[in-house]
Structure 1
């Protein structure tokens, strides 16, 4: 998957004429580690990192610009970054900015209420145009949540992590009343996967959902023959191998909130008491994906 996927990662702690920062270089290495490889160690992005740690290790504006264009100069304003991205012929481009007031990125120069993004461009920023991007002893708040999302917190049930799911994770983590609000701007018709991790349920078990539930509102009837573990006295029916095998899959679907027992607190009780189980709304969604051959 790594072929053709490139990520330029920049972290600068040292500035010659400005106050110094701390943690930006460490954050850059965290992002690089998260993007380099998928959860199964297969290659993901071809990453290049630029860091400024001190007077003998600086990142000049000219050098930074030359990583994206053939000719560099002495300045790289935010608007120029956007122009480079908008003019790029690359199909999918994602800009991640963990810096103060970064929410201005993508805004129209004539009217900040509107964004200027060409097709295929997505922008994440750590805060609005009027907010600071906060840090802790562990680094940037935004970057830590980004890395957390890339390492699996934002994965769906097939193990894919998309820009939309990353933003949802960061947005939820910061809360509506946080000191900083992330900004998400995009002009795409579908999200690409940023990283692949081990899914919380095996694909073969996930695909079984369409067989176990022939319709979205089907109730799967259970009885004691489905439960192999029986500590309750009075259960005289022996388990049936075929049923316990299907029940094991149903329990896995239950753990990822695709299936819930009906009239019982747990799947175990539903089987022992002869109840049933049904799909959740999320379960109906994934069943539909399976039926439509999208998984």
Structure 2
């Protein structure tokens, strides 16, 4: 069972913040299913909660997310964040002085005591980098329980930027979940999401924060593999040993007068491997010339990684 609570709050003291609700809706829709249409997270989407007051409603929802046994419990929040001497807060619509919202350390406590096997928290709000800092207020020290991952839009001293009515961080998060952060198998993890967002934001832009204490990365979403697993498993057939080179000649290139059908099919696989960085030609710039000039190709370091996974029956 995979549960996700997605909250978007853009009504702050009666003044709309921007695209927080739209961002939350987009994230919820993406998390519900994998690219092939298979179910992913059982998502509960809440926008501008308005029971008796927002604070109890939001607190109850977060408690319900983390209190049940589940394989993955994911919490995403888009809204306003506040940093005080007492720590960081996610701010609700009924904000008032001394009762601003939900303390980030309280959310951390709920995640720490959660029965879920894996916990993932994603915060798109100002000062979100203060989440999971030490009790002494030292932002360089994190307090994370086992199997907890936190991704925040900014450091504790920074605002989370909006552009064209959408959070910059969440816009990148959505791109990552739609496949930008997928590996060759189509798996998208918290680690690959952060790497994708981090590479897109310059040194002078807001800096996302990644904190984790896990023994494994669980896929947050899956998209169609860049190379089918059936084809990928043939890598150990073409390279019985990882250091082997696959000898080519013109019979592998379909435009050659010497082309042989079965060899052309093999060459198509090798070209697909090359396009994803698994294979490279030896002493030639392109695979075409490697074939036409009777050279060879070999595994890259990434290719060896997937060769090993196939060899160990992990794919």
TM exceeding 0.5: yes
Deviations 1:229-280 (A, max 9, x none): 13xxxxx5x2222211211111111111111111222111111111111111
- Secondary structure of 2:16's match? coil
Distance 2:314 2:194 in 1: 23
Could you say which structure has the higher strand fraction? 2
- Aligned positions, number: 280
The RMSD of aligned alpha carbons is 1.9
Tell me, yes or no, if the aligned pair for 1:14 and 1:58 is still in contact at 8 Å: no
Q: 1:284 aligns with which of 295, 304, 309?
A: 304
| Matched residue, 2:194 | 167
The change in CA–CA distance for 1:15 and 1:253 in structure 2 (over 3 A counts) is: same
Question: Is 1:221 the equivalent of 2:247?
Answer: yes
Q: Which runs of 4+ in 1 moved over 2 A?
A: 56-59, 68-71
1:247 matched to 2:273? The reply is no
Q: Give the structure 1 partner of residue 25 of structure 2.
A: 29
User: Are 2:142 and 1:115 aligned?
Assistant: yes
Q: From 34, 38, 41, give the equivalent of 1:42.
A: 38
In 1: Cα distance, 2:244 partner to 2:165 partner? 48
* Structure 1 residues without counterparts, runs of 5 or longer: 231-235
Deviation string for 1:140-198 (max 9, x for gaps)?
011011111010000011111011111110111113x1321111111110010100100
Structure 1 pair 103/120, CA: closer, same or farther in 2 (3 Å)?
same
Partners of 1:181 and 1:58 in 2: CA distance: 36
**2:228 aligned partner:** 202
Q: Tell me by how many angstroms 1:205 deviates.
A: 1.1
Which residue is 1:142 aligned to?
Answer: 169
5+ residue gaps, structure 2: 68-98
Task: Work out whether 1:256 is the aligned partner of 2:276.
Answer: yes
The alpha-carbon deviation at position 69 of structure 1 amounts to: 2.7
| 1:48 Cα deviation from its structure 2 partner | 0.8
Please list the CA deviations of residues 115-141 of structure 1 after superposition, one character each: whole Å capped at 9, or x if unmatched: 111111111100000011101005001
Residue 20 (structure 1) shift: 3.2
